[in-house]
Chain A
Amino acid sequence: MAHLNISDVTLSFGGLKALSNVDMKIEPGLITSIIGPNGAGKTSMLNCISGFYHPTKGDIFYKEKKLTHASPHQVSNMGISRAFQNLELFSGLSVLDNLLLARHQNLKYSFLHAVWFHGKASRVEAENRAFVEGIIDFMELEPYRKSLVGNLSYGVQKKVEVARALTLAPDILLLDEPMAGMNQEEKEDIVRFVMDIQKEKGITVVLVEHDLGVVMDISDRIYVLDFGEVIGSGTPEEVSQNPKVIEAYIGED
Chain B
Amino acid sequence: MSNNDHLLEYSIPQLLRWRVASSPKRPALREKDFGIWNTYTWEDYYDHVRKTALGLQQIGLKRGDTIAIISDNIPELLFTAIGAHAIGAISAGIYQTSMPAEIAQILQYLKVTAVFCDNQEQVDKVLDVRDQIPNVKKVIFEDPRGMREYMSDDWFIDIQDLYKLGEKEHAASPDLFESLVDQGKPDDPCHLCLTSGTTGLPKGTIMTHKNYINMGVKITEVDPLEPTDEYVSFLPFAWIGEQMNSFGIAMATGITINFPESVETAMSDLKEIGPHFMFGAPRIYETIRSEIWLKIDQSYWLNKLLYNYFIQVGLKAASYKMTGKSMPLGLRLKSWFGTQIIIRPLINQIGLMRLRRAYTGGAALGPELFTFYQAIGVNLKQIYGQTEITGIAYMHRDGDVRPETVGKPLPGTECKIADDGEILSKSASVSPGYFDLPEKTAEALEGGWLHSGDAGFIDEHGHLVVIDRLSDVMHNNKEEMFSPMFLENALKFSPYIKEAVIYGNKEEFVSCLINIDPVVVGKWAEDKGISFTTYMDLASKPEVAKLMMEQVLDVNSRAEKEHFKIKRFALLYKLLDMDDGELTKTGKIRRKFVQEKYQNLYDALYDETIDTKEVEASFQYQDGQSNIVKTSIAFYTVKGV
Q: Which residues of A contact B264 (CB under 8 A)?
A: 142-143
- Interface membership of A133, Cβ < 8 A: yes
Cβ of B148 and Cβ of A200 under 8 Å apart?
A: yes
The number of residues on chain B lying at the interface, defined by a beta carbon within 8 Å of a beta carbon of chain A, is 16
Other-chain contact of B35, A133, A199, A200 (Cβ < 8 Å):
A133
Cβ of B623 and Cβ of A185 under 8 Å apart?
A: yes
Cβ of B34 and Cβ of A188 under 8 Å apart?
A: no
- Determine the distance from Cα of A196 to Cα of B144 in the docked complex, in whole angstroms: 12
Q: Which residues of B contact A110 (CB under 8 A)?
A: none
Q: Known: A184-B621, A184-B623, A188-B623. Contact between A130 and B34, CB under 8 A? A: yes
- Interface membership of B261, Cβ < 8 A: yes
List the B residue with the shortest CB-CB distance to A129. Answer: B35
Q: Which residues of B contact A199 (CB under 8 A)?
A: 146, 148
- Interface membership of A140, Cβ < 8 A: yes
Q: Which residues of B contact A185 (CB under 8 A)?
A: 621-623
Cβ of B265 and Cβ of A136 under 8 Å apart?
A: no
Q: Which residues of A contact B35 (CB under 8 A)?
A: 129, 133, 136, 142, 145
User: Whole-angstrom distance from the CB of B264 to the nearest CB of chain A?
Assistant: 4
Q: Which residues of B contact A145 (CB under 8 A)?
A: 35
User: Whole-angstrom distance from the CB of B145 to the nearest CB of chain A?
Assistant: 6
Binary interface encoding of chain A residues 189-214 relative to chain B, with 1 for a CB under 8 A from any of its CBs, else 0: 00000001001100000000000000
- Determine the distance from Cα of A242 to Cα of B584 in the docked complex, in whole angstroms: 51
- Determine the distance from Cα of A133 to Cα of B268 in the docked complex, in whole angstroms: 17
User: Whole-angstrom distance from the CB of B35 to the nearest CB of chain A?
Assistant: 5
Q: Known: A137-B34, A142-B261, A143-B264. Contact between A200 and B146, CB under 8 A? A: yes
Cβ of B148 and Cβ of A133 under 8 Å apart?
A: no
- Interface membership of B262, Cβ < 8 A: yes
Other-chain contact of B268, A129, A136, A143, A200 (Cβ < 8 Å):
A143
Q: Which residues of B contact A243 (CB under 8 A)?
A: none
List the A residue with the shortest CB-CB distance to B148. Answer: A199
- Chain B residues numbered 16-37 whose CB sits less than 8 Å from any CB in chain A: 33-36
Cβ of B623 and Cβ of A133 under 8 Å apart?
A: no
- Determine the distance from Cα of A199 to Cα of B150 in the docked complex, in whole angstroms: 13
Binary interface encoding of chain B residues 625-640 relative to chain A, with 1 for a CB under 8 A from any of its CBs, else 0: 1000000000000000
Cβ of B262 and Cβ of A143 under 8 Å apart?
A: yes
Q: Which residues of A contact B145 (CB under 8 A)?
A: 196, 200
Among B35, B148, B625, the most chain A Cβ lie within 10 Å of the Cβ of B35
Q: Which residues of A contact B623 (CB under 8 A)?
A: 184-185, 188
List the A residue with the shortest CB-CB distance to B261. Answer: A142
- Determine the distance from Cα of A136 to Cα of B34 in the docked complex, in whole angstroms: 8
- Determine the distance from Cα of A134 to Cα of B622 in the docked complex, in whole angstroms: 28
User: Whole-angstrom distance from the CB of B449 to the nearest CB of chain A?
Assistant: 46
- Chain B residues numbered 248-282 whose CB sits less than 8 Å from any CB in chain A: 261-262, 264-265, 268
List the B residue with the shortest CB-CB distance to A199. Answer: B148
Q: Which residues of A contact B33 (CB under 8 A)?
A: 137
- Determine the distance from Cα of A184 to Cα of B619 in the docked complex, in whole angstroms: 14
Q: Which residues of A contact B265 (CB under 8 A)?
A: 142-143
Cβ of A133 and Cβ of B622 under 8 Å apart?
A: no
Q: Which residues of B contact A134 (CB under 8 A)?
A: 34
Q: Which residues of B contact A200 (CB under 8 A)?
A: 145-146, 148
User: Whole-angstrom distance from the CB of B425 to the nearest CB of chain A?
Assistant: 40
List the B residue with the shortest CB-CB distance to A133. Answer: B34
- Determine the distance from Cα of A146 to Cα of B623 in the docked complex, in whole angstroms: 30
Binary interface encoding of chain B residues 86-97 relative to chain A, with 1 for a CB under 8 A from any of its CBs, else 0: 000000000000
Q: Which residues of B contact A136 (CB under 8 A)?
A: 34-35
Binary interface encoding of chain A residues 115-134 relative to chain B, with 1 for a CB under 8 A from any of its CBs, else 0: 00000000000000110011
- Determine the distance from Cα of A136 to Cα of B625 in the docked complex, in whole angstroms: 30
List the B residue with the shortest CB-CB distance to A131. Answer: B34
Binary interface encoding of chain B residues 143-160 relative to chain A, with 1 for a CB under 8 A from any of its CBs, else 0: 001101000000000000
- Determine the distance from Cα of A166 to Cα of B174 in the docked complex, in whole angstroms: 46
- Chain A residues numbered 134-177 whose CB sits less than 8 Å from any CB in chain B: 134, 136-137, 140, 142-143, 145-146
Among B34, B145, B262, B623, the most chain A Cβ lie within 10 Å of the Cβ of B34
- Determine the distance from Cα of A146 to Cα of B265 in the docked complex, in whole angstroms: 11
User: Whole-angstrom distance from the CB of A22 to the nearest CB of chain B?
Assistant: 34
Q: Which residues of B contact A143 (CB under 8 A)?
A: 262, 264-265, 268
User: Whole-angstrom distance from the CB of A122 to the nearest CB of chain B?
Assistant: 15
User: Whole-angstrom distance from the CB of B96 to the nearest CB of chain A?
Assistant: 15
Binary interface encoding of chain B residues 101-145 relative to chain A, with 1 for a CB under 8 A from any of its CBs, else 0: 000000000000000000000000000000000000000000001
- Determine the distance from Cα of A137 to Cα of B33 in the docked complex, in whole angstroms: 8
- Determine the distance from Cα of A146 to Cα of B34 in the docked complex, in whole angstroms: 13
User: Whole-angstrom distance from the CB of A75 to the nearest CB of chain B?
Assistant: 29
- Determine the distance from Cα of A143 to Cα of B262 in the docked complex, in whole angstroms: 8
User: Whole-angstrom distance from the CB of A140 to the nearest CB of chain B?
Assistant: 7
- Chain A residues numbered 38-96 whose CB sits less than 8 Å from any CB in chain B: none
Cβ of B262 and Cβ of A140 under 8 Å apart?
A: yes
Q: Which residues of B contact A137 (CB under 8 A)?
A: 33-34
List the A residue with the shortest CB-CB distance to B267. Answer: A143
User: Whole-angstrom distance from the CB of A248 to the nearest CB of chain B?
Assistant: 29
List the B residue with the shortest CB-CB distance to A183. Answer: B621
User: Whole-angstrom distance from the CB of B142 to the nearest CB of chain A?
Assistant: 13
- Determine the distance from Cα of A187 to Cα of B623 in the docked complex, in whole angstroms: 12
- Chain B residues numbered 505-550 whose CB sits less than 8 Å from any CB in chain A: none
- Determine the distance from Cα of A199 to Cα of B621 in the docked complex, in whole angstroms: 27
- Chain B residues numbered 54-70 whose CB sits less than 8 Å from any CB in chain A: none
Q: Which residues of B contact A188 (CB under 8 A)?
A: 623
Q: Which residues of A contact B622 (CB under 8 A)?
A: 185
List the B residue with the shortest CB-CB distance to A143. Answer: B264
List the B residue with the shortest CB-CB distance to A146. Answer: B268
Q: Which residues of B contact A140 (CB under 8 A)?
A: 262
- Determine the distance from Cα of A133 to Cα of B34 in the docked complex, in whole angstroms: 5
User: Whole-angstrom distance from the CB of B133 to the nearest CB of chain A?
Assistant: 26
User: Whole-angstrom distance from the CB of A206 to the nearest CB of chain B?
Assistant: 22
Q: Which residues of A contact B36 (CB under 8 A)?
A: 133
User: Whole-angstrom distance from the CB of A103 to the nearest CB of chain B?
Assistant: 15
- Determine the distance from Cα of A185 to Cα of B261 in the docked complex, in whole angstroms: 23
Cβ of B146 and Cβ of A196 under 8 Å apart?
A: yes
User: Whole-angstrom distance from the CB of B69 to the nearest CB of chain A?
Assistant: 22
- Determine the distance from Cα of A184 to Cα of B624 in the docked complex, in whole angstroms: 12
User: Whole-angstrom distance from the CB of B446 to the nearest CB of chain A?
Assistant: 48
Binary interface encoding of chain B residues 392-436 relative to chain A, with 1 for a CB under 8 A from any of its CBs, else 0: 000000000000000000000000000000000000000000000
Q: Which residues of B contact A130 (CB under 8 A)?
A: 34
List the A residue with the shortest CB-CB distance to B146. Answer: A196
| Interchain residue pairs with CB less than 8 A apart (6) | A146-B268, A184-B621, A185-B622, A185-B623, A199-B146, A200-B145
- Please provide the 5 A-B residue pairs with the shortest distance between their CB atoms, ordered closest to farther: A133-B34, A143-B264, A133-B35, A142-B261, A143-B265
14 more A-B residue pairs beyond the given contacts A199-B146, A200-B148, with a C-beta to C-beta distance below 8 A: A129-B35, A133-B34, A133-B35, A142-B35, A142-B262, A142-B265, A143-B262, A143-B264, A143-B265, A143-B268, A184-B621, A188-B623, A196-B146, A200-B145
Q: Tell me the A residues contacting B by CB distance below 8 Å.
A: 129-130, 133-134, 136-137, 140, 142-143, 145-146, 184-185, 188, 196, 199-200
Q: Tell me the B residues contacting A by CB distance below 8 Å.
A: 33-36, 145-146, 148, 261-262, 264-265, 268, 621-623, 625
